[in-house]
Amino acid sequence: MSTALNTLIRAMHFAAVKHREQRRKGEAADPYINHPVAVAHVLSTEGGISDVVTLCAAALHDTVEDTDATVADLQQLFGEDIAAVVAEVTDDRSLSRAERKAAQVAHAPHLSDRARLVKLADKICNLRDMLSGPPTDWSGDRLREYFDWANRVVAGLRGLNPALDAAFDATYARRVELR
């Protein structure tokens, strides 16, 4: 097995172990691991991304933010490049939700290319999840606010991958379907 493929499989496994008890907020309460796998899948199949650092970072993108994993863990297990991309897309949990959301908008244009791709695929997947099974306690207004905020984040991510830009635009356009 190639070293790159081995690294990607290890990253997927690590993410699966770390997220094993977590569920998504949507109606179906899907296993959380479905989300990082979907982000990597969007990058690979829709964006044509084959860079193993970017795909591993996609698989690991929520581990530091949502589990007990640290950037140091990722550095040790997967190397500096992958850990650095994950660190770039990790929200600072010491900030309030409003501050985290504002920081994502402000920081998006300043991310590395790899982090911009991961963040863009993450937003595509989040919006698709909201369309297919939004959290039951979210009103239509809250869903539309989320879509509009995601659009503001993505404004700073555009231009690297036209296919992913188009996938986001197509998904965002479906916001009219929200309850």
HSE (side-chain half, CA atoms, 13 Å) at 92: 10
Buried b (16+ CB within 10 A) or exposed e, 127-162: bbbbbeebbeebeeeebbebbeebbebbebbbeebe
The answer to whether 62 is a known catalytic residue is no
Element (H, E) at 97: helix 97-107
Total number of residues shown for the chain: 179
**Among 30, 46, 65, 113, the one annotated catalytic:** 65
State the Cα–Cα distance between residues 66 and 2, nearest whole angstrom: 30
CA-based diameter of the chain, in Å?
A: 48
CB 12 within 8 A of CB 59: yes
**Among 30, 66, 73, 113, the one annotated catalytic:** 66
Task: Quickly count: other Cβ atoms within 10 Å of residue 15's Cβ.
Answer: 25
The answer to whether 65 is a known catalytic residue is yes
Catalytic residue numbers read 65-66
